[in-house]
Structure 1
């Protein structure tokens, strides 16, 4: 049974539908939602002051270029790159991906032939749809590029097609280039403007967020942030005159590494299959199990199983039980893998079990340091004689450098372990070290450093 939750929305844009929007639909996956004038949780935005009348948990959602006021809100969902324990980066473009149901479209890999076919459908040069005339950089560039060819303006401002378009997405689909200029520039501030041309297989001309390369692949669009107007016009003319250049740009993935950024991808952690980082960890775990086990019918615990993807992978080696403290997550795992066993609980669920192998991936770092010895002792107790434990966890040695390039991931506890601390915990709890493997991952995008991020330990229960 899903728990009940009462919420309300105030101070949003006038067209918001309270019981059918991105926030409501996401929460409905884990709660029975009721819209109430006396809510447990209030979501509010920046277009009014009604939120001041509520005395409940208040969560700010801001799509505008404004900073959150943490004196007025309990939590903030904004585009900002700030690192704050009560903030999660959730830029407006994430909502637009959901609104257009464009998850698959934006990550679809295209062949050269497909890109040439797309280009043939682009019968028009370039367009702009703007109602705000205050963005000087956008307007100046519109006039400059119009000296080369007519730029069709379909918005209420500088309209040159006779009528303001009613459906922007339908309007832009015939154009090779589409203006994607933000109203203003600020680090992290990315709205729907760059997403819309990507969805319609057009080439965005983007200006705004100076850190746009953290989320988007700069080879897939014309980046106006780091060019003079003259350079920008010259690049667009070159692409317009050379189909090879245009096709190369159309073939590029929109996102860095062709992965929807974590701040936008609510589906990334709901798939039955592992994501890229999870698959890399599984490749190591699988080799370790093959190294220590010749019997394909052992008893296994997946501790902190989440949605159950690892539990499913481990089932090829024997009887596996997934243990997870969050009931709604366990219910979801049962839906994904109805033939597997999942239990709601935590460390106390290990007391009456004895298994050959315990696997715990990306869990121990979410436990307070003073509680970690208790967990290691419980891991030891659950193992049969000569049993093994495989633990994966990020390394404290690189935590600060990792966070320098990313937002906080929203977890309430982030206590990464150094290798020395892990070694101390394992040996003090009666384990011998069998092996250790380090996996690298790039911090965030192709221009950020590759870090020795994950430590994967194989440890064995000492013989008494």
Structure 2
């Protein structure tokens, strides 16, 4: 099985990733093709242009043209980036960001945040699928831990009181995040970490171990747009204070965190968090992260056709 990855982000590991592991499970031997002119059995394309110039970044162009979370049905991949000849047998689009799939004749299937199967042409894939070890045990370098599906199905044990209220890890400025943090600071101290505040993140679990909560807000509110934030809060030994739309996902245990979207207003949510007593906190903390392991069959079916 020869596979090529195109229009991915610069740090994407083409040799070691969820898709290569999946193809090895399905086909055995997998060869990753890097030459753009060579023929391959499967080409997986994402949302970033191959140019280093950030002005040519496809995702940036999308966000200039449409509001977050709105359908991206009419925007095509720039033709100048397409091969002169069809040098792949099958092409799959991977929507790693919250943008809708560009429906084109030369795309055979979609793997995205959309939960609609589109009659079998689309498979739902949340970011945390790759980082959680639900396919194979996975070493998550972001938190320095190796995880597996069995661990995420087990309840946690609470061993003692935590001395600090909440922490937040922020990589880039976001109005919604800062608003939530400022409101939470009315009921407890929230420490912010990240390069933008001069506090580099070396090891999340080590930093977060003394905190009861981790503030983790998604970049967008779209059904199914769930990244690694909930998972990392769980692996960092905290209870997530979350903002995100799980849609119809039934795998993540919603009893293990508080979601701002479950409340009518920010103030109502803040009041709820204020009134979480020790018993209620321990009950949330000890919840397993997953109710069940997501069925990966739809993803496999889209990959191989």
Q: What band does the TM-score fall into relative to the shorter chain? A: 0.7 to 0.9
- How many positions carry a matched residue from both structures? 251
5+ residue gaps, structure 2, are 52-80, 141-146
TM-score where L is the length of structure 1: 0.50
Tell me how far apart the structure 2 counterparts of residues 225 and 197 of structure 1 sit (CA, whole Å): 18
2:62 maps to 1:52: no
Tell me how far apart the structure 1 counterparts of residues 123 and 289 of structure 2 sit (CA, whole Å): 22
How far has the Cα of 1:169 moved from its partner? Answer: 4.3
Tell me how far apart the structure 2 counterparts of residues 410 and 17 of structure 1 sit (CA, whole Å): 20
- RMSD after superposition: 2.4
2:245 maps to 1:209: yes
Structure 2 counterpart of 1:102, from 131, 142, 148: 148
CA 1:105–1:94: 2 relative to 1, 3 Å: same
How far has the Cα of 1:14 moved from its partner? Answer: 1.2
Structure 2 counterpart of 1:75, from 101, 106, 109: 109
TM-score where L is the length of structure 2: 0.75
2:185 maps to 1:151: no
- SS of match in other structure, 1:194: helix
Structure 1 counterpart of 2:282, from 247, 265, 269: 247
**Residue number in structure 1 paired with 2:266:** 229
- Greater percentage in strand: 1
- SS of match in other structure, 2:30: strand
**Residue number in structure 1 paired with 2:144:** none
Larger radius of gyration: 1
**Residue number in structure 2 paired with 1:128:** 168
Give the conservation status (yes or no) of the 8 Å contact 2:252–2:292. Answer: no
Give the conservation status (yes or no) of the 8 Å contact 2:153–2:289. Answer: yes
CA 1:19–1:410: 2 relative to 1, 3 Å: closer
**Residue number in structure 1 paired with 2:214:** 178
How far has the Cα of 1:147 moved from its partner? Answer: 2.3
**Residue number in structure 2 paired with 1:13:** 9
Give the conservation status (yes or no) of the 8 Å contact 1:107–1:253. Answer: yes
**Residue number in structure 2 paired with 1:194:** 230
5+ residue gaps, structure 1, are 267-407, 413-464
**Residue number in structure 1 paired with 2:44:** 43
- SS of match in other structure, 2:229: coil
Q: Which has the higher contact order (CA 8 A, sep 6+)?
A: 2
CA 1:173–1:21: 2 relative to 1, 3 Å: farther
1:251-270 equivalences under 5 Å are: 251-255=286-290, 258-263=291-296
